[in-house]
Amino acid sequence: MPRSDAADVGQLITDARVPGLSMAVIRNGGIESLIAAGVRNARDCAPIDEQIIFDAASLSKPVFAYVVLQLIEAGHSRSTRRSRAMCRTMSPTTPARAQ
């Protein structure tokens, strides 16, 4: 991991007030690097490695859906008129429609 990335991750851990994190940097459809920093928890201070799996709660599903909708809206998908209409309807910037 380049030194600037390590410093950025260290700052992120400090700013977020978490003991550690593990993440992958993905570019051009492939994993460019795996980053593991900090400790698993503040009690035992076991270091985080690239093999650890954290619980992502159920937040991964809505985040993924949001990204997919943004990609479709930006034209990066073979979407149908129906899915484009759905993006416009679900977009946070679209004003609410009168019913």
Tens-place pLDDT, residues 18-66: 888 888 888 888 888 888 888 988 888 888 888 887 766 667 778 888 8
Beta-carbon contacts of 9 under 8 Å, excluding residues fewer than 6 positions away, are: 1, 21, 23, 35, 37
Whole-structure pTM value: 0.45
What mean pLDDT value characterizes the chain?
75
Q: Which residue has the higher pLDDT, 78 or 74?
A: 74
Q: Identify the pLDDT of residue 99.
A: 41
Secondary structure E strands in the chain: 20-27, 30-38
% of the chain surpassing 90 pLDDT: 0
Domain spans of the chain?
Answer: 1-54, 56-99
